[in-house]
Amino acid sequence: MQAPIRLVAFLGNPGRRYEPTRHNVAWMLADRLVPSDDRSWKEKFHGLFHRDGSIVFLKPTAFMNNSGRSVQAACSFFSVDPAALLVVHDDLETPFGAVDTVWDGGHRGHNGLRSVSTSLSTGDYHRLRIGIGRPPANRRVADWVLERFSREEEAELPGILARAEELLAQIIP
């Protein structure tokens, strides 16, 4: 890690329609850490935030493609340098079920990451990627990310999210 993490942004889309979709796998992880019905989530920064000691968790609610607006507002308010930011997101280029971290790494076509990088004027921040894999050849990427996981994938999600939680605990003890 380049700097101690102070802000963890979990990218996703608001609304019941999007809750079980591939694009919201980061929000699924956030809800394992601090359940959505926990009253410690506060509305601000075009999103929901929860403070846990020196760490701030953020769930942007401005939809995926506008996530940067929320992340930039929280970074500004809490005086968080992008080097102390970790963005958790779904990743098409990472095989389903794989979880990894990377410093910088570009946006790899992810519109949420593109929005964050544009809003912060840098791509120099940490990422925790949760693999959702590429769609079959006959499926559009935009449709794929907004669909539910298959039954088989849903059965594997608890284990995948547990691995992501363990990795996150190593990054922000």
Q: Say if 2 falls within a structural domain.
A: no
Q: Say if 70 falls within a structural domain.
A: yes
Burial of 145 (0-12, 13-18, 19+ CB in 10 A): buried
Instruction: State how far the Cα of 54 lies from the Cα of 23, in Å rounded to an integer.
Output: 27
Identify residue 44 by its one-letter amino acid code.
K
Q: Say if 26 falls within a structural domain.
A: yes
Q: Which residues contact 138 (CB under 8 A, 6 or more apart)?
A: none
Q: Say if 1 falls within a structural domain.
A: no
Please state the φ and ψ torsions of residue 106, each to the nearest 5 degrees.
Answer: 70, -175
Q: Which residues contact 126 (CB under 8 A, 6 or more apart)?
A: 1, 2, 5, 85, 86, 87, 101, 102, 103, 171
Based on the structure, what is the number of domains in the chain?
A: 1
What distances in angstroms separate CA 47 from CA 3, 148, 173, one per listed residue? Answer: 24, 23, 24
Residue among 23, 46, 50, 110 flagged as catalytic: 23
Give SS3 for 86.
strand
Q: Say if 40 falls within a structural domain.
A: yes
Q: Contact, 127 vs 105, CB < 8 A? A: yes
Burial of 121 (0-12, 13-18, 19+ CB in 10 A): exposed
Report yes or no on whether pTM surpasses 0.85.
Answer: yes
Specify whether 23 is catalytic: yes
Residue carrying the six token digits 């601090």: 34
Question: The domain spanning residue 142 has which CATH number?
Answer: 3.40.50.1470
Question: What residues make up the domain containing 131?
Answer: 7-171
Q: Say if 102 falls within a structural domain.
A: yes
Where the chain has pLDDT below 50, the residues are 1
Q: Say if 64 falls within a structural domain.
A: yes
Which pLDDT score, from 0 to 100, does residue 2 have?
A: 60
Which pLDDT score, from 0 to 100, does residue 1 have?
A: 46
Q: Say if 136 falls within a structural domain.
A: yes
